[in-house]
Amino acid sequence: MAQISSSTNGHSLKRRDLLLTATVMATGFPAILRGQRGDGKPNIIWILGEDFSPDLGCYGSRVVRTPVLDKLAAEGVRFDRAFTTAPVCSASRSAFCTGLFQTTIGAHNHRSHRDDGFALPHGVKVIPQHLREAGYHAVNLGGEFAPGARGTAKEDWNFHVEPPWDSKRLEGRPAGKPLYLQVNFSATHKGPAFVQARKEMPRIDPDSLPLPPYWPDHPVVRDEYANYLEAATLLDRQVGQLLQLLEKEDLLSNSVVFFMGDHGQCLIRGKQWLYDAGLRVPLIAWSPGRWKAGEVREDPVLSLDMTATSLSLGGVKPERKLDGQDLFGPKAKRRDLVFAARDRCDMTVDRIRSVRDRRYRLIRNFMPERPYTQYNEYIEKQYPTLAVMKELYAKGKLNPVQALFMQPRKPELELYDTLNDPFLVKNLAADASQKARVAEMSARIDRWIIDSDDQGRFPEKSYSSK
């Protein structure tokens, strides 16, 4: 278990535990366990952590301390194989806010359709529209609601809809109406929150961290990773502050709370890529008395399933069939596998598709001639690890696993055994023993592209010449 760096603020591990326990008590989190379901439609509350993988104590992390979210999982249902449909915010959010794959609705290219009048296909709506029509008051929380905690009111959709929210504040909501509340936290998104986390959270000793094998052991790499994990602790504190507010407002006594990351961590080989580090997210569903407390689900689930479940709880039957499915209802079915897609991210054109079951992930690179490190301004500016890897690669100081990400081209197919290779660094696609598996999973991707009407088949007009 990681120790707190004595060179920064002198805290011991015991001291850190005491501080975070005090944080939980200050948020009043144990009080929310008094909430029980009542009659009528429940309040539906989405809590979203930006750029966040399952780096929580309840998911096995021995480095971060996340008592609030760990408690939420202990009293709710934790999904251990939850994935988003895209590894970048706008595409992922376009999908889970409609319940349909971003590739199906033409919202797959990052930050697209912001000023061209593009609208959703007929019958497709975002979740606040559905729930408002079902009698809900819809709030996308914005602004500071507690010291050091604020909702971003983020939408970030690759389409235009008329404003679908009733408010960005909890104040002034009508009596007698159920609430749909979405709260986005940017604590784990690169930017000012990382600076806040370093100032306000107990420092993590970078030298104590176990690194993924695809990163070089370098002080800059360790510091970036430590700062991200400190931000995870800040996120946990902010969620506790939110729950305290909701308890004060008596909004938890008949509520369903979902906590999820909008996609994976903003670190090399995470965000923008179809590895588990870019797609696997925490997903916790909490509603005392409604579901079995402490249940852990191992079946693959999608972010779209949170949408379908929420609409089912709200009594909504969408006009168009969703790609998500109810996680808990009487007709709920367990998935065998999940699909994901990566398309243009900022100025970086690429097309990648993936399918994953409980154990294996197959990735197909449609543009293998484009390297992982083709220019992306966001990554160049926000990922200090990349600069280190470029320098070490040029000097021949990366080992073969670390050098994988620096190759001049990508393989056409990548197959990983996530059970025996959790960091996805041993590509089995050319292994003779995996020939049948590669063929079967490739055929699944082919069928999904056709069945889901994957719009990525068609070049984006404004980028078709690049």
Topology, domain 13-335: Alkaline Phosphatase, subunit A (3.40.720)
CA 84 vs CA 23, 24, 276, 354: distances in Å: 30, 29, 10, 12
Tokens of 293: 């407390």
Tens place of pLDDT for every residue, the chain, 466 residues? 333 333 333 333 344 444 444 444 444 444 433 333 334 899 999 999 999 999 999 999 999 999 999 999 999 999 999 999 999 999 999 999 999 999 999 999 999 998 888 989 999 999 999 999 999 999 999 999 999 999 999 999 999 999 999 999 999 999 989 999 999 999 999 999 999 999 999 999 999 999 999 999 999 999 999 999 999 999 999 999 999 999 999 999 899 999 999 999 999 999 999 999 999 999 999 999 999 999 999 999 999 999 999 999 999 999 999 999 999 988 889 999 999 999 999 999 999 999 999 999 999 999 999 999 999 999 999 999 999 999 999 999 999 999 999 999 999 999 999 999 999 999 999 999 999 999 999 999 999 999 999 999 999 987 643 3
- Residue 22's SS3 state is helix
- Residue 228 · residue 235 · CB < 8 Å: no
DSSP state of 208: G
Residue 46, beta-bridge partner list: 182, 258
pTM (2 decimals)? Answer: 0.92
Domain map of the chain by residue range?
Answer: 13-335
Q: CA angle, corner 389, sides to 386 and 391, nearest 5?
A: 110
